[in-house]
Amino acid sequence: MQAHIYLHPDNFAHNGIDDKVRVNNKFHSLLQDMETIVRDSQYREENKFVVLDGLYSVSILPDKDIFSYAEENLPNDEKTILYDILANTAEGISGDVPTIDELRDRCTFSATETYPTTMMVLNAPLEDAKSTQAYMQFDNYQIVYGKSSWITFRRQILGNHPGDANHFMIECKRYFSDLIFHANCTSSLVDDDYNYLEVCPRKIVYYLSALNDRYFDVYRRYCTREQSAQANVVLEDFSGCCGLEEPGSINRNPHTRDKRTFDFVIDKTTRHTVFCDLHLKISNPDDNYRGRDVGQHFNPRIYFNIEPFEDYESASIYVGSIGEHL
- pLDDT of 240: 93
- 224-247, pLDDT tens digit by residue? 655 545 788 889 999 999 999 999
On the question of pLDDT at 65 being above 70, the answer is yes
Of 235, 234, 239, 220, the residue nearest 315 (C-alpha):
220
- Is residue 79 a contact partner of residue 73, using CB atoms and an 8 Å limit? no
Residue 155 has what pLDDT?
97
**Out of 118-132, 164-178, 210-224, least confident range:** 118-132
Residue 162 confidence (pLDDT) above 90: yes
pTM: 0.91
Phi (first) and psi of residue 60, to 5 degrees:
-85, -20
pLDDT (average), residues 198-215: 95
What is the amino acid identity at position 55? L
Question: Residue type for 58, please?
Answer: V
> Highest mean pLDDT range out of 33-37, 118-122, 201-205?
201-205
CA distances to 42, 107, 118, 135, 273 from 127, rounded to whole Å, are: 33, 17, 17, 16, 48
> What are the beta bridge partners of residue 195?
190
Segment 81-102 mean pLDDT: 84
Distance of CA 277 to the CA centre of its chain: 25
Mean pLDDT, all residues of the chain = 87
Q: Worst-scoring range by mean pLDDT, 43-47, 69-73, 176-180, 207-211?
A: 43-47
Residue 311 is predicted with a pLDDT of: 63
Per residue in 50-64, pLDDT (tens digit) is: 999 889 999 999 989
Rounded CA gap, 276 and 118, in Å?
37
Domain ranges for the chain, please list them: 3-157, 165-323
Residue-level pLDDT at 312: 62
What is the amino acid identity at position 114? Answer: T
> With 70 as the cut, is the pLDDT of residue 181 above it?
yes
The one-letter amino acid code at 105 reads D
| Segment (H or E) for 301 | strand 301-307
Out of 8-12, 157-161, 195-199, 216-220, which region has the weakest mean confidence (pLDDT)? 216-220
Element (H, E) at 214: helix 201-219
